[in-house]
Amino acid sequence: MSRILRPEPGETGFWIALGAITFSYVGFLVLLIWATTAFTDPGTLLRSLQAPEIRYAIGLTLITCTLTALLSVILAIPAGYLLARSDFPGRSFIESIIDIPIVLPPMVMGLCLLIFFQTEMGKWIEQFVTFTYTVAGVVVAQFSIAAAFAIRTMHATFQHISFRPEDVARTLGCSRLQALWLVTLPTARRGIFAAGSVAWARSLGEFGPVLVFAGATRMKTEVLPTTVWLELSVGNLDAAVAVSLFMIALAIVILVAMRSAGDLR
């Protein structure tokens, strides 16, 4: 746990140097946001955001990000628990596979998805649900990357929770599943919220795999990052800036919510 340091006499220069380095980066980010905000005015911003295409993209983004976050958490809880609590042959190989979406360029994930759904297995799956160039495809594209971040978060969460209370619960009559459900998951609630938030935030910014796998069809598979790209490509800077500012606001809200959850005692 970190502790609050009070500068001792003679240490002021040291702390000022650290502060200068940190605040130069913070200042850089604030400048970027300020410059983008100053580029537009409230009237243009509101007008741009009220365009039917952009309202559709906002709605689709909120729905797909939420769905992706929920699916990611549903996967991340058992996967994170398995990785944190058990040792099995090939564990580090499995962990490396799970981390692939974190290190791979997102566009490559989109290409892999597109190719997979051209295989026999992919075509068989699409007999039941069509993913390529559909809204379902947007969720799959976001999920393929966001889930890896959620699993990593849940893995770290379970690693930090002692297994002893679970053991005690088992001696008191719980099955493994009951011990997980009644004791460990309530303890992990902040981690679960963090995993969902990370997945949500990650999906919000996902562009490459959505573009490649689900396409950029207006009023169909267009999410906010796609909107920025489409508006820029036709030279509509006002709309691109409006959508960018809206995304910045969403990102700030989700980050503040994550920090608040982390600070809950």
Partner 1 sequence: MIRLENVSWSAGAFTLEGISLEIPDASYAILMGPTGCGKTTVLEIIAGLRQPIKGRVYIGERDVTRLPSGRRRLGYVPQDGALFPTMKVWEQLGFALRLRRIPSTEIAATVEILADSLEIRHLLGRSVNGLSGGERQRVALGRALAAKPDALILDEPLSALDEDTRGSMMALLKRMQREFAIPALHVTHSQTEALGIGDKIFRFSGGKIVEEPHTPRKP
Binding site for partner 1 (CB under 8 A): 162, 164-165, 167-175, 178, 183, 186-187, 189, 265
Amino acid at 262: G
Taking the complex as a whole, the smallest distance from the CB of residue 265 to partner 1 amounts, in Å, to 8
Three-class secondary structure of residue 159 per DSSP: helix
Residue closer to partner 1, measured from CB, 13 or 173: 173
Residue closer to partner 1, measured from CB, 102 or 172: 172
Task: Please give the structure tokens belonging to residue 209.
Answer: 């795999």
Residue closer to partner 1, measured from CB, 121 or 264: 264
Close Cβ partners of 202 (under 8 Å, ≥ 6 residues apart): 142, 145, 146, 149
Instruction: Of 1, 166, 145, give the one whose Cα is nearest residue 81.
Output: 166
Taking the complex as a whole, the smallest distance from the CB of residue 90 to partner 1 amounts, in Å, to 18
Close Cβ partners of 219 (under 8 Å, ≥ 6 residues apart): 52, 53, 56
Q: CA 28, CA 24: separation in Å to the nearest integer?
A: 6
Residue closer to partner 1, measured from CB, 173 or 235: 173
Taking the complex as a whole, the smallest distance from the CB of residue 3 to partner 1 amounts, in Å, to 19
